[in-house]
């Protein structure tokens, strides 16, 4: 493809992308193809002679579109969003053009320096404590995913712990102590932590234990939960070195009790031994709002934090921003410098080589799209986007409460996510005990299927019905939702945080939920 052909092809591709976005809501949101559909549509091998862009482009609509689930559709209310926007697409375009696996500063100084600057900007607007800024001992780095960020910090935590344990020892003695300690290391998370923490432990070669959470605490990890877990570890001669805490868990958007966790670690004299990571992959975006930003002050007691801009901050995949308060812990754990990577700038110690802050060597120019997004929307534009969805989520929860004959909210609505289950039949509703702390339960009809006292029969019936409703809705394909099992309760998660989603889309989803539930209930009673 020569320059002129590229110019024409790129214009045509951009036109098609714009048309796609403009009409996306008319498409069925979930793909309905059967496994293996694509192989049947493609030839058995690549063409011997090159094809024109016109021929290739036609296959986007004919062959690829049917197999796409449209994450950018305003009717996509599943998982968490993965926003793509025009400025971030432009960032990707330039990044592809400038392709340079910029592992060292020298590989392309702008790639490194822009990353440091935009991550400091982001830290400021997220209200992160100054410890996470590059001006001090900390700093941010863009990773491909929250999972990668967690593996990276877990390895740094392991090395920090082992170095502390072996302090003052040398040679054989040090090696023996290191091996002995390593065999007793344990990483902790909560039952609600994303599975990436368990996977990170697998990769880092350490044990993993998840700490129980309770409905009464809205599924948050509490100080007491952590204290019990630490006691149990001590009883088994295990050495906890790492803990994932979460702002906005995947299942229900629960927020761990950061204050209590920091206090327990401080009292146990473990603040500098257990590396605490804050996984704010989705809900971290809300920290840009003044009404949520205060939460970040607790992170001053912790070691690292990540937020995926590619979820809720209008930046397309991938852009997971990881911050550490002591970058030396990352670089001393991950820096290996064969001679071909040495250069006078790296040796001078005056530049950042992001290869030492991550697992891979090469890296993409992801800072560009973040820069474009921050400048195009401005801080106020990003705030308006996040605030709009939190407001819409609260509206959705209010509609659910109005239909408490049909639906019940499982955990407090948070960060635009509402988790619901079919309400128990009226004749078997139970009164709430005094002192029930779940605000959703208290605000509701005064009856509930989510209490431990709910009858087993009701639970089985409502779980079956909720699953049935969920499956009917997703196979109809007008809106796309995800389900979850919360302490034995089958639940449907509804989250609308897509740039193109308005209240009307959410209302339509609610009406579909109501109509489908009514149909499923009446059929089950027939």
Residues that bind ligand PLP (CB under 6 A): 80, 145-147, 194, 196, 246, 249-250, 279, 281-282, 308, 320
Question: From the CB of 198, what's the least distance to ligand PLP, in Å?
Answer: 11
In angstroms, rounded to a whole number, what is the distance separating the alpha carbons of residues 484 and 123?
Answer: 32
Cβ-contact 146, 282 below 8 angstroms:
no
The residue (of 419 and 512) whose beta carbon lies closer to ligand PLP is: 419
In angstroms, rounded to a whole number, what is the distance separating the alpha carbons of residues 262 and 332?
Answer: 25
Q: What is the dihedral of CA 300, 301, 305, 311, to 10 degrees?
A: -70
Preceding peptide of 318 cis, ω within 30°: yes
In angstroms, rounded to a whole number, what is the distance separating the alpha carbons of residues 420 and 431?
Answer: 19
The residue (of 145 and 271) whose beta carbon lies closer to ligand PLP is: 145
Tell me which residue has tokens 């779940």: 438
Question: From the CB of 201, what's the least distance to ligand PLP, in Å?
Answer: 14
Q: Calculate ∠ Cα 212-183-209, nearest 5°.
A: 10
The residue (of 222 and 447) whose beta carbon lies closer to ligand PLP is: 222
Is residue 143 helix, strand or coil? strand
The residue (of 260 and 318) whose beta carbon lies closer to ligand PLP is: 318
Cβ-contact 512, 396 below 8 angstroms:
no
Cβ-contact 464, 387 below 8 angstroms:
no
In angstroms, rounded to a whole number, what is the distance separating the alpha carbons of residues 265 and 38?
Answer: 53
The residue (of 75 and 246) whose beta carbon lies closer to ligand PLP is: 246
The residue (of 116 and 147) whose beta carbon lies closer to ligand PLP is: 147
SS in 3 state form for 28-85?
Answer: CCCCCCCCCHHHHHCCCCCCCCCCCHHHHHHHHHHHHHHHCCCCCCCCECCCCCCCCC
Question: From the CB of 248, what's the least distance to ligand PLP, in Å?
Answer: 6
Tell me which residue has tokens 């809205």: 218
Question: From the CB of 309, what's the least distance to ligand PLP, in Å?
Answer: 10
The residue (of 147 and 316) whose beta carbon lies closer to ligand PLP is: 147
Residue 377 to residues 87, 341, 343, 385, 390, Cα–Cα distance (Å): 9, 38, 38, 9, 18
Question: From the CB of 313, what's the least distance to ligand PLP, in Å?
Answer: 13
The residue (of 393 and 424) whose beta carbon lies closer to ligand PLP is: 393
Question: From the CB of 78, what's the least distance to ligand PLP, in Å?
Answer: 11
Question: From the CB of 148, what's the least distance to ligand PLP, in Å?
Answer: 7
Question: From the CB of 211, what's the least distance to ligand PLP, in Å?
Answer: 16
**With left for phi above 0 and alpha for psi between -120 and 50, is residue 96 left, alpha or beta?**
alpha
The residue (of 196 and 447) whose beta carbon lies closer to ligand PLP is: 196
SS in 3 state form for 373-394?
Answer: HHHHHHHHHHHHHHHHHHHHHH
- Name the phi and psi angles at 524, rounded to 5: -70, -25
Question: From the CB of 242, what's the least distance to ligand PLP, in Å?
Answer: 15
Question: From the CB of 142, what's the least distance to ligand PLP, in Å?
Answer: 12
In angstroms, rounded to a whole number, what is the distance separating the alpha carbons of residues 525 and 209?
Answer: 43
Question: From the CB of 157, what's the least distance to ligand PLP, in Å?
Answer: 17
The residue (of 146 and 382) whose beta carbon lies closer to ligand PLP is: 146
Query: Which residues, including other chains, have CB under 8 Å from residue 508's CB and lie 6 or more apart?
Result: 75, 478, 479
The residue (of 21 and 317) whose beta carbon lies closer to ligand PLP is: 317
Question: From the CB of 110, what's the least distance to ligand PLP, in Å?
Answer: 25
Helix axis angle for 171-182 and 146-165, nearest 10°, is 130
With the C-alpha atoms ordered 316, 322, 328, 332, is the resulting torsion angle positive or negative?
Answer: negative
The residue (of 239 and 320) whose beta carbon lies closer to ligand PLP is: 320
């Amino acid at each position: 493809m020569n320059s002129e052909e590229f110019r024409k092809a790129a214009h045509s591709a951009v036109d098609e992308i714009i048309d796609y976005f403009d009409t996306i809501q008319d498409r069925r949101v979930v793909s309905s193809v059967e496994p293996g559909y694509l192989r049947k549509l493609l030839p058995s091998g690549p063409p011997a002679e090159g094809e024109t862009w016109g021929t290739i482009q036609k296959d986007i609509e004919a062959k690829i579109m049917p197999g796409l689930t449209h994450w950018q559709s305003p009717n996509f209310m599943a998982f968490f969003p993965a926003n793509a926007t025009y400025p971030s697409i432009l960032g990707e375009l330039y990044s592809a053009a400038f392709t340079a696996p910029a592992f060292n500063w020298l590989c392309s100084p702008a790639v490194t320096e822009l990353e440091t600057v935009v991550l400091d900007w982001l830290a400021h607007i997220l209200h992160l404590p100054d410890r996470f800024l590059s001006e001090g001992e900390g700093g941010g780095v863009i990773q491909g995913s929250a999972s990668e960020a967690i593996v990276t910090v877990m390895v740094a935590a392991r090395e920090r712990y082992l170095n502390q344990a072996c302090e003052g020892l040398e040679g054989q003695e040090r090696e023996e102590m290191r091996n002995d300690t390593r065999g007793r290391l344990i990483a902790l998370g909560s039952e609600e932590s994303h599975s990436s923490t368990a996977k990170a432990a697998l990769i880092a070669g350490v044990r993993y234990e998840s700490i129980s959470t309770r409905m009464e605490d809205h599924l948050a990890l509490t100080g007491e939960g952590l204290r019990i877990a630490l006691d149990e570890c001590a009883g088994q001669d295990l050495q906890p070195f790492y803990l994932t805490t979460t702002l906005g868990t995947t299942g229900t958007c629960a927020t761990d009790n950061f204050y209590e966790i920091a206090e327990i670690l401080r009292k146990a004299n473990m603040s500098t031994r257990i590396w605490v990571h804050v996984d704010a992959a989705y809900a971290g975006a809300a920290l840009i709002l003044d009404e949520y930003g205060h939460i970040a002050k607790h992170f001053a007691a912790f070691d690292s934090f990540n937020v995926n801009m590619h979820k809720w901050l209008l930046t397309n995949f991938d852009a997971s921003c990881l911050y550490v308060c002591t970058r030396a812990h990352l670089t001393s754990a991950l820096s290996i410098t064969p001679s071909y990577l040495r250069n006078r700038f790296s040796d001078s110690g005056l530049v950042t080589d992001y290869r030492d802050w991550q697992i891979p060597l090469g890296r993409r120019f992801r800072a560009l799209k973040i820069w474009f997004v921050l400048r195009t929307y401005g801080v106020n534009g990003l705030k308006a986007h996040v605030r709009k969805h939190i407001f819409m989520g609260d509206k959705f929860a209010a509609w659910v409460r109005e239909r408490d004959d049909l639906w019940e909210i499982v955990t407090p609505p948070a960060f635009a996510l509402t988790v619901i289950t079919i309400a128990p039949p009226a004749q078997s509703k139970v009164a709430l005990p005094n002192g029930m702390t779940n605000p959703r339960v208290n605000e509701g009809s005064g009856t509930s299927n989510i209490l431990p006292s709910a009858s087993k029969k009701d639970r089985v019936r409502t779980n079956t019905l909720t699953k049935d409703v969920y499956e009917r809705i997703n196979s109809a394909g007008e809106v796309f939702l995800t389900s979850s099992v919360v302490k034995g309760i089958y639940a449907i998660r509804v989250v609308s945080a897509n740039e193109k989603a308005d209240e009307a889309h959410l209302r339509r989803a609610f009406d579909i939920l109501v109509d489908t539930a009514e149909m499923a209930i009446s059929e089950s009673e027939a």
